Amino acid sequence: MKYLEYSVADRIGYITLNRPDKRNALNHDVVAELKEAFTKAESDSAVKVVVLRANGESFCAGADLAYLQQLQKFSFDENVADSAHLKELFEKIYKLKKVVIAQVQGNAIAGGCGLACVCDFVISASDARFGYTEVKIGFIPAIVMVFLLRKIGEGHAKRLLLSGDLISANEAQAIGLIQKVVPSEKLNDEVNALALQLITSNSAHAMMLTKQMIAEVQSMSLNDSLLYAAKKNAEARGSEDCKRGIAAFLNKEKIIW
């Protein structure tokens, strides 16, 4: 891959943005490589948890300036197709069958903040900043808005999306955008510790079903969501992981997944 690095160690799949000279900004090709990398990680039997990270000082600064200039020449239909390309990436990460942890340093801005938002966990360096600056250039954070409203609610989302202001990592944690803030020198260790905890303590199948339910039930009526939940409950009970886990619990045995 030209813009990414993909590696696996200790059942962790690492997808690393590698455009440090461009602050890991997004363009059509970067988005295409990210979709390819997440598809690869999802089907990679050696991977149980995925970490999205970046080389350089910034996690991701949003859209590449040259790419923004190119979009000015697109027709409406071409822009719809290009928007769908980004939508597919965000949806792929959000619905991925494996847990995704974002490791953020520096700035996560606009589409870069969107990338972090759709991950299941976000661990950030204390000096990182987050925000959606699209309104400042006459644009809108349309696609990520769908996920952001689910994640932090209308009040916090309105403040971020309408102001275009950047917020600190601590404030991002306070509103639920990210889960944990650590000193920059401890960022790698904290991310790896969380990944290894999920890998050894939790069933991959159970995490997959839980993630799937979180994505689906929010758009259902109460009755439909409960019927769906009952079916998922039955599906989980019949799984080999559940049988193995319950047997270990009853026998007071420590289970390593």
The model's pLDDT over 69-124, given as tens digits with 9 standing for 90+, comes to: 888 888 999 889 989 999 999 999 999 999 999 999 999 999 999 999 999 999 99
Residues 192 and 229 reside in one and the same domain: no
Last residue within a domain, chosen from 180, 199, 218: 199
Residue 180: predicted pLDDT: 98
Residues 39 and 166 reside in one and the same domain: yes
Over pLDDT 70: what percentage of the chain? 100
Interatomic CA distance for residues 107 and 72, integer angstroms: 25
Residue 112: predicted pLDDT: 97
Domain count, the chain: 2
The catalytically annotated residue of 78, 91, 134, 240 is: 134
Residue 158: predicted pLDDT: 97
**CB 208, CB 236: distance < 8 Å:** no
Residues 120 and 237 reside in one and the same domain: no
Over pLDDT 90: what percentage of the chain? 89
Assign residue 65 the CATH number of its domain: 3.90.226.10
Residues 209 and 193 reside in one and the same domain: no
Report if residue 255 sits inside a domain.
Answer: no
Radius of gyration of the chain (CA): 19
Candidates 211, 216, 215, 207; CA nearest to 239 is: 207
Residues 207 and 121 reside in one and the same domain: no
Residues 71 and 165 reside in one and the same domain: yes
Report pLDDT digits (tens) over 133-143: 999 999 999 99
User: Domain containing 46: what range?
Assistant: 4-199
Residues 64 and 131 reside in one and the same domain: yes
State both tokens at 49: 């948890």
Residues 140 and 157 reside in one and the same domain: yes
How big, in percent rounded to 5, are the helix, strand and coil portions of the chain? Answer: 55, 15, 25
Ranges in the chain, pLDDT < 50? none
Residue 134 among the catalytic residues: yes
Interatomic CA distance for residues 81 and 101, integer angstroms: 28
